[in-house]
A and B are shown apart, each in its own frame.
Chain A
Amino acid sequence: MKDNKILELFFARDEKALEAVSEKYGKLCRFVASNFLCMREDREECFNDTLLALWNSIPPEKPENLPAYISATARNQAVNRSRAANAWKRGGQVQFVNEECLSLIADGKTLADDYESALAARILNGFIEDLGEGERKVFVLRYWFDASILQIVKQTGFSESKVKSMLARQRRRLAQKLEKEGIIV
């Protein structure tokens, strides 16, 4: 079913919208959740949470890019679920793969002030825009989808060492860009 048809079902409050999302994007949701949740039971609950969140948010939301919207919803649900579980079990500390980018600012550098996150995001998106298609996929898979190297290898067909070196280069270049723009001081 096409995305605009699925949205029409949501706006008509037709329950078939959820069935359509399950069929078309169920695997995507589980893929996203699998990178944040180890337990299969958690992932299934996360999937149900995602459907509920979609049902509650569309309408009024009318996403232009449905797979992106669904991915973001699934990711939020997975992150929240992971943090909630770990808050009880591990003192609230959860770390995800994209935190390796924190090494960008590990050497005594810091963001200029509290209001720089949005600016950093704008520069980050400009950085992604400038990447080639393959590199962009690797970067976004790693740092937004929280995918493992192996998953990236499977998804891109690149070798493991190539993926690792691409990511290392990307981190370096991003750090230089953020520094040049004054985000990292």
Chain B
Amino acid sequence: MTDRDIKNARILEAFSLIDEKYIGEVASSLKLDDYSDEPPKASPWKSLRSLLALAACVMLLGALFPVAMQLINNFAVGTTVTDPYSLSQAELDAINEAWGGSGFAETPDEVGYLEGYRFIYGKYDGAIPLGSRSLSSSGYGEESVAGYVFEYTTACIIAVYYDGEIIPLYTAHARGILSDEQIEDIWRKHQNYDEKYRDDYIYGDYLDPIEDLELLTKSGVAEINAAWAALHPDFDGALINTDKLNRGMNYRYLGTIDGKVIIWRSEGEGVAVTQRIGLFEFSHSSSFDIIVCDSDEFYYLDKAYAQIVTDVSLAMIYARNEEYEKYFALHNDLIEEPYLGELKIVEPREASPFKLTYEEQYEIISSYIKDDDESYLKYSYSVRCYMKADGAYAVMLDSGRWLYTQALRHVDVAGYTFLFPDGQRMYIYKDGEFYTLLEAYQNGVVSRDYIASIIWSKSK
């Protein structure tokens, strides 16, 4: 934590202590008669009553019988969800609770979620400008469209979905898909949106509030997600609707097996658990669930096995899970040194050992995104560097939008084995070109010593 963080925290704490009489005075004087924010379709009290009843039962049983609580939890949410939208409110509440509080749409034909924490700026004659705030903080920049300067201070870039593809905002304008007036409208919304997520002190104009996530049809969402998937060169497998996987839980995408998306979920802490399903004994060192998503419906694995997962698929899921467990054990318990013998493990999620300058990052990202039509994406990427020598950079590029397949991946190069925990690749960048590790070594771009020097960052 920096000095600035500490200072900020103190001042903000003071602001949170504003006397209640002033808050009450303002709260009582607010003119909210015409304030509208879509009311809940179900009575909030109805939801609450169900929640209270469930919470009371679980708390009572939990206090008395921890093991029973697990069973009750499993029972409460373990029912196979064949049609989540036709369930009773109590069942929905139980499921939502199991998902950590994230909500299901109640009207599937009208409501959709954009994956990847994106939102939209509205609809303009079939064109849908999209923003994303899930990207890295390195994405500063701006672009000028129709005379309006869009500042991307929080890596929130705007792209446009139109007719099955994602295109940059300026392209949408150049092609006449968006008019000057529409660009101005989007700019105004962006100004207001950006105000709240600016990484620096907040100045500037405050205009109309951005529209909330508009309701899209499910098929509309699927189209948009498919277009995003087509853009990303390293995309590996199905997209996860991250808006449904929320609230402090850990998720891993174990892969798509037999057309079904397999997700591993854990609260991060808990007791070691095992669960026998079919012929297999699934285990983990902390509480976990394996969840099967099939056609937008979610099942716990044991229930899915009873109905939609075959024995062969179950075996594959078991193997994937075992691989992940192995990685988990290696990562947490066994490996203390940067590498163990000839085995290197690269942990992409931790801070990279080499800090690159902004110019270096910009050069690498610009080289990675060669297509002018995708140049706007450069704001969304960041670079992690694991080795830097002789003009060669061992890098992994993050866009923040994608979940990679969670399965161990071995890459053998120059007598070393790199063990990656997921599908994200490491590249060697040199003189404007990207190579895989193996390509770089075989083509003499880097030496064996260079390969040996790539640092596993777990201990950093």
Contacts and interface: CB of A to CB of B under 8 A. Distances in A.
8 A-B pairs with the lowest CB-CB distances in the bound complex, closest first: A68-B24, A149-B206, A121-B17, A65-B24, A120-B14, A68-B20, A67-B27, A100-B202
Contacts of B197: 95
B21 A65 contact: yes
21 contacts: A26-B44, A34-B37, A45-B103, A52-B51, A72-B20, A85-B246, A89-B134, A95-B199, A95-B202, A98-B15, A99-B202, A101-B15, A102-B8, A111-B11, A118-B14, A120-B11, A121-B15, A136-B26, A144-B18, A154-B31, A164-B206
Contact of A71 (B23, B37, B137, B196): B23
Interface in A32-64: 34, 38-41, 43-45, 47-48, 51-52, 55, 64
Contacts of A47: 40, 44
A8 interface: no
A78 interface: no
Interface string B119-138: 10000000000000110010
A48 B192 contact: no
Given A28-B27, A68-B27, A150-B208, A41 B17 contact: no
Contact of A67 (B19, B28, B212): B28
B37 A117 contact: no
B306 interface: no
A91 interface: yes
Interface residues of A, number: 78
A153 to B, nearest CB: 9
B285 to A, nearest CB: 21
B414 interface: no
Given A124-B14, A125-B18, A140 B26 contact: yes
A111 B40 contact: no
Interface in B28-62: 28-32, 35, 37-40, 44-45, 47-49, 51-52
A145 interface: yes
Nearest to A146: B196
B103 to A, nearest CB: 5
B181 interface: no
A88 B268 CA distance: 13
Interface of A: 15, 18-19, 22, 26-28, 30-31, 34, 38-41, 43-45, 47-48, 51-52, 55, 64-72, 84-85, 87-91, 93, 95-106, 110-111, 114, 116-118, 120-121, 124-125, 128-129, 136-137, 140-141, 143-145, 148-151, 154-155, 160, 164
B48 A155 contact: no
Contacts of B40: 44, 47-48
B30 A28 contact: yes
B212 to A, nearest CB: 5
B207 A99 contact: no
Given A52-B52, A105-B11, A110-B3, A128 B18 contact: yes
A164 B213 CA distance: 28
B7 interface: yes
Contacts of B23: 65, 67-68, 71-72, 140, 144
A78 to B, nearest CB: 12
Contact of B134 (A90, A98, A106, A140): A90
B17 A100 contact: no
Given A38-B213, A67-B27, A155-B31, A125 B22 contact: yes
A48 B47 contact: yes
B10 interface: yes
A51 B44 CA distance: 8
A148 B29 contact: no
Contacts of A68: 20-21, 23-24, 27
A137 B26 contact: yes
Given A120-B14, A136-B25, A148 B195 contact: yes
Contacts of A111: 7, 10-11
B206 A148 contact: yes
A124 B45 contact: no
Nearest to A44: B40
A121 B45 contact: no
B248 A96 contact: no
Contact of B32 (A28, A45, A95, A150): A28
B450 to A, nearest CB: 31
Given A39-B119, A52-B51, A102-B8, 19 more contacts: A28-B30, A39-B212, A48-B48, A52-B48, A67-B23, A68-B20, A71-B24, A85-B246, A95-B196, A102-B201, A111-B11, A117-B10, A121-B14, A128-B19, A129-B22, A137-B25, A144-B16, A150-B207, A155-B31
Interface string B169-213: 000000000000000000000001001111101110011111011
B136 to A, nearest CB: 9
A70 B30 CA distance: 14
Contacts of B195: 97, 148
A28 to B, nearest CB: 6
A40 B203 contact: no
Nearest to A33: B37
Given A27-B35, A111-B10, A137-B26, A88 B49 contact: no
